[in-house]
Structure 1
Amino acid sequence: MDSSHSAALNAKHAGLDARIAAERQRPSPDEALLARLKKQKLKIKEMLLGI
């Protein structure tokens, strides 16, 4: 994987992390949305690790 692709995936991963944190801060977090975001974040992490 080239470094620009890796950097883009890292940026997406960080963005998802921020969205998850923001959703958790809400008074009534949307659990379905959190689950989807976490799943997306895991897929990106797997791509970064080459799994």
Structure 2
Amino acid sequence: MTNVEDIQRRLIELDVEHRDLDEVIDRLTQEGHIDQLQLRRLKKRKLQLKDHIALLKMQLVPDVPA
């Protein structure tokens, strides 16, 4: 992905998925019976999304000569 618009579009998609995962995790933790394995997988996926979002945001920042 080198096109700025493509990166911005992907960032929006990842942000939505990250938010959705956050809601699912919150709902699961509020319920009485929690599947710990599922919860760990969702949290791991959420962290992966956060890392991917950070990498894409860095691609949008122009390089500044030292």
Structure 1 and Structure 2 fold alike (TM over 0.5): yes
Equivalences for 1:30-45 in 2 at 5 Å? 30-45=35-50
Aligned-residue Cα RMSD (Å) equals 1.5
Aligned length: 51
Of 4, 14, 21 in structure 1, the residue corresponding to residue 19 of structure 2 is 14
2:28 aligns with 23
Runs of 4+, deviation exceeding 6 Å: none
Deviation at 1:28, TM superposition (A): 1.3
Structure 1 unaligned segments of length 5 or more: list them: none
Structure 2 unaligned runs (5+)?
Answer: 56-66
* Identity, % of aligned positions: 30
* Structure with the greater alpha carbon radius of gyration: 2
